[in-house]
Structure 1
Amino acid sequence: VFGDIVLQASFFFGEDVTFDEKAFTKRVRAPGATERLAAYRTWLASREIFDAETLQRDTHDFLTAQGWGMGDIVHAVRVAVTGTAIGPGLFDSLEIVGQDLCLRRIDRALRKAAESVESPS
């Protein structure tokens, strides 16, 4: 149990995360996922208030404006920011990790997804 807690919370510590490859493939490499993740990253960068409650409310508004549902983005964001498909609440996690680090991790996930498209295994 303690080991599970450590693994699920490890993304709070350090600059980078290790991506769960199965989750990354399913959530970030899914058709249309990188485009949605990039759009959300741009939107996230423009946020002046970066607390969980505001992010959740404003994300809902952003998604509605895009014609997307929460499921269209949250899984890819979670994997990009935490490295895994499971863990604490997404918006709480975003707040704790902080805006700058969230953006850097999303950028890294987008680069990794682009590299896998350019040079398939």
Structure 2
Amino acid sequence: MKQYQINFENKVNRDKIIIHYTASWVPPTGKRQVVYVGHEELTRDFVCSRLLLTGEVAIKAICQVMEILPADFQLVEVDFAQPQNKQILNIPDFKRFSGYLKQRHLLRRVPTHQEADEIVVDTQFVKELRIG
């Protein structure tokens, strides 16, 4: 399996919410390679606030990347820049992310392990504080 990660950056201003995400992996050559770039630009007055506050907009973006990349790519890490305004945009809850993957039969696209009678997702969520 080819292991990859997704990095999210966001910007919230008066009129818009901009979410930029990049999926990349490190091939045997050792040089990081971008395999997918996504960009969402949402007008604040016309977007469902629940999708932003729960982080579901990010989960949907992650699942889109999973469905587009070849089946031998496995998501091992998601890096999130801390939102500028948590009253408008938030990072998804890992439990919600795991549930979303189970509902959409995407568990084969992430590392997992078995715990009791439940499949546990091993993808790492990293929350970064980025200044600037």
Whichever of the two has the greater Rg, that structure is 2
Higher relative contact order (CA 8 A, sep 6+): 1
More helix per residue: 1 or 2? Answer: 1
- TM-score range with shorter-chain normalisation? under 0.3
TM-score normalised over the length of structure 2: 0.26
More strand per residue: 1 or 2? Answer: 2
TM-score normalised over the length of structure 1: 0.27
